[in-house]
Structure 1
Amino acid sequence: MVGVMLVMVPLLMMFTIGLTFVGAYKMESKRITASPMWFKSKVYNNNKWSEIKSYIHKSETCEEMAITSMALSSYVLNMQNLTPIQSGCCRPPTFCEMEAVNATFWMKKDHKSNRTHPYDTDCDTWNNDQNILCYDCQSCREGFLRTAEHKWRELGLFMVTMAVKLIISHLSVFLGTMLEH
């Protein structure tokens, strides 16, 4: 019985943490480490964002996107299925109505835009310099958050699945042993 309890407590913790990552439990506090609110506060902290931004740049996501779509027209560029980081960091938001030269080089139009979108400053933040692009844009931060949340959800599904399988197998071994005695 003691052995079963020693195994079940960590498995139940794994199950609970997995449910949290999947989103079944909403932990909404900046004080709880690794909660969604805590993570958002780190992403929107400019000092932490500069570190995150450097990792995104070092991953060469935008460079790969530029190389793979070099021969594509601007229409095809707009129709590409991009990851949240690619669409948020490597190109300006679509409401900016910029003209694509290639995947990471966009020309600003001369007309004034109506500033009604929540990420209006992203249009002005965009820069064609490959080291800057839209890494300082709010859309880049949102893309990073969406990517991290997707990966956490996958991890949570894996943890819940493995915890349930291990709990069932350990309980069946325990019950089999108890019935044998």
Structure 2
Amino acid sequence: MAVSNSITAILNFVAMMCSFPIIAAGVWLASRADNECLLWLRWPLVFLGFAFLLVSAAGFVGAYWKKEGLLAVYLVAMFILIVVLLVVLVLAFVVTRPGGAYTAAGGARFKEYRLEGFSSWLRDHVTGAGSWGKIRACLAASQICPKLAHKFVSAPDFFAAHLSPIQSGCCKPPLMCGLQYSNPTTWLGESNMGGGSDCGLWSNDPSQLCYNCDSCKAGVLGNLRDEWRKANIILIITLVLLIWVYLIACSAYRNAQTEQLFRRYKQGWV
């Protein structure tokens, strides 16, 4: 019994450590400057990570101080949290699998983005009428685009840059519009309307730029996709480790219960 509880306590300590990568992934996603306008993205993973931390701590206390009821609650709660994390991972993988990136015209190093290239679920939740107005206002008030004007002076430097999806989609017109580069947020000439509807929406006004363009919406989705796929790598590794810890903890708990019943039987209690 003591050995089984000791094993369970150690495993719960490991599970507590596993909660920190989940929290770190959530904080990383929330703190990215390109994600500052996606408020709903900020805290779900952080909350889930803290839930793992609290449940693992409860399991550690239950194992270390031999609180069998608390251990049972831990096993049920940990199972639920693992299922939730698995659902989050599957959903994140499914909705971020399609990508709307394509090679920009003129040999530019950066990619451009098409809205229809992303999953309909992601489009509805980010670019729907109820969401995009707030995101657009936030983008216009942010420093994402103004920073480009200070960073790049010459056209060759700009076209050789690796722009983020938001910078590519929101801060400049699509290159197929045929406008001439003056600086990253100022483009001259007449738009080629055959380049798509976004060509008529571009404005050199710093408060407008391409914030109303489909390419900007696609850029936001592209940014979200890229960063979630990076976070998924950490979450998958953490999930595998948590499942391994949980299965061993279940086995240790079952062994502890068997030992307890056997000891009672030997003592003539049952």
* Offset at residue 136 of structure 1 (A): 0.8
Is residue 65 from structure 1 mapped to residue 148 from structure 2 by the alignment?
yes
Instruction: Judge which range, 81-90 or 7-16, deviates more.
Output: 7-16
Question: What corresponds to 2:65 in structure 1?
Answer: none
- The 3-state SS of whatever aligns with 2:145 is helix
Is residue 113 from structure 1 mapped to residue 184 from structure 2 by the alignment?
no
Map residues 90-129 of structure 1 onto 2, 5 A cutoff.
90-109=171-190, 113=192, 115=194, 117=195, 120-129=196-205
Question: What corresponds to 1:50 in structure 2?
Answer: 133
In structure 2, C-alpha distance between the alignment counterparts of 1:151 and 1:25, rounded to whole Å? 10
Aligned pair partner of 1:40 in 86, 107, 123: 123
Question: What corresponds to 1:147 in structure 2?
Answer: 223
Q: Which has the higher contact order (CA 8 A, sep 6+)?
A: 1
Amino acid corresponding to residue 14 of structure 1 in structure 2: L
Larger radius of gyration: 2
Unaligned runs of 5+ in 1: 27-35
In structure 1, C-alpha distance between the alignment counterparts of 2:246 and 2:160, rounded to whole Å? 50
In structure 2, C-alpha distance between the alignment counterparts of 1:43 and 1:103, rounded to whole Å? 25
Residues 1:45 and 1:15: Cα distance change in structure 2 (over 3 Å): closer
Unaligned runs of 5+ in 2: 1-70, 98-118, 260-270
In structure 1, C-alpha distance between the alignment counterparts of 2:252 and 2:131, rounded to whole Å? 52
Residues 1:153 and 1:123: Cα distance change in structure 2 (over 3 Å): same
In structure 2, C-alpha distance between the alignment counterparts of 1:38 and 1:24, rounded to whole Å? 7
Question: What corresponds to 2:251 in structure 1?
Answer: 175
CA RMSD of aligned residues (A): 2.6
- The 3-state SS of whatever aligns with 2:181 is strand
Residues 1:114 and 1:68: Cα distance change in structure 2 (over 3 Å): closer
Instruction: Judge which range, 94-103 or 144-153, deviates more.
Output: 144-153
Structure with greater helix share of residues: 2
Residues 1:42 and 1:20: Cα distance change in structure 2 (over 3 Å): closer
CA contact (8 A) 2:95 2:121 kept: no
| Percent of aligned pairs with the same amino acid | 25
Amino acid corresponding to residue 135 of structure 1 in structure 2: Y
TM-score normalised by structure 2 residue count: 0.54
CA contact (8 A) 2:140 2:206 kept: no
Aligned residues: 165
